[in-house]
Amino acid sequence: MAKYLLLKHYRGAPAAVNNVPMDQWEPDEVDAHMQYMRDFANRLRETGEYVDGQALAPEGMFVRYDGEGRPPVTDGPFAETKDLIAGWMIIDVDTYDRAIELAGELSAAPGAGGKPIHEWLELRPFYGVTATATATE
Partner 1 sequence: MNEPLLRELVPAVIGILVRRGASFAAAEDAVQEALVEAWRVWPDDPPRDPKGWLVTVAWRRFLDAARAEGARRRREEEVAETAPVGEIRAGADVDDTLQLYVLCAHPSLTPASAVALTLRAVGGLTTRQIAQAYLVPEATMAQRISRAKRTVAGVRFDQPGDVATVLRVLYLVFNEGYSGDVDLSAEAIRLTRQLARHTSHEEVAGLLALMLLHHARRPARTTADGRLVPLAEQDRALWDTRTIAEGVEILQAALARDRLGEFQAQAAIAALHADARRAEETDWVQIVEWYDELVALTGSPVARLNRAVAVGEADGARAGLAALRELDPALPRHAAVAAYLHERAGEEATAARLYVEAARSAPNVPERDHLTRQAARLNARLRS
- Of 15 and 22, the one with the shorter C-beta distance to partner 1 is 22
Residue 76 Cα distances to 59, 62, 122, 125, angstroms: 9, 6, 24, 29
Q: Residue 34 in 3-state DSSP?
A: helix
Q: Residue 42 or residue 130: which is nearer to partner 1 going by CB? A: 42
Helix (H) or strand (E) segment spanning residue 86: strand 84-93
Residue 3 CA, chain-centre distance (Å), reads 14
Residue number, 84 or 133, with CB nearest to partner 1: 84
Establish if 26 lies at the interface with partner 1 (CB under 8 A). Answer: yes
- 24 is a site residue for partner 1 (CB under 8 A): yes
Residue (of 131, 134, 55) closest to 93 by Cα position: 131
38 near partner 1, judged by CB under 8 A: yes
Q: Does 23 bind partner 1 (CB under 8 A)?
A: yes
End-to-end CA distance of the chain: 15
- Region near partner 1 per CB under 8 A, out of 11-19, 29-37, 67-75, 76-84: 29-37
Nearer to partner 1, 57 or 69 (CB): 57
| Residue ranges in 52-111 that form contacts with partner 1 under rule CB under 8 A | 55, 57-59
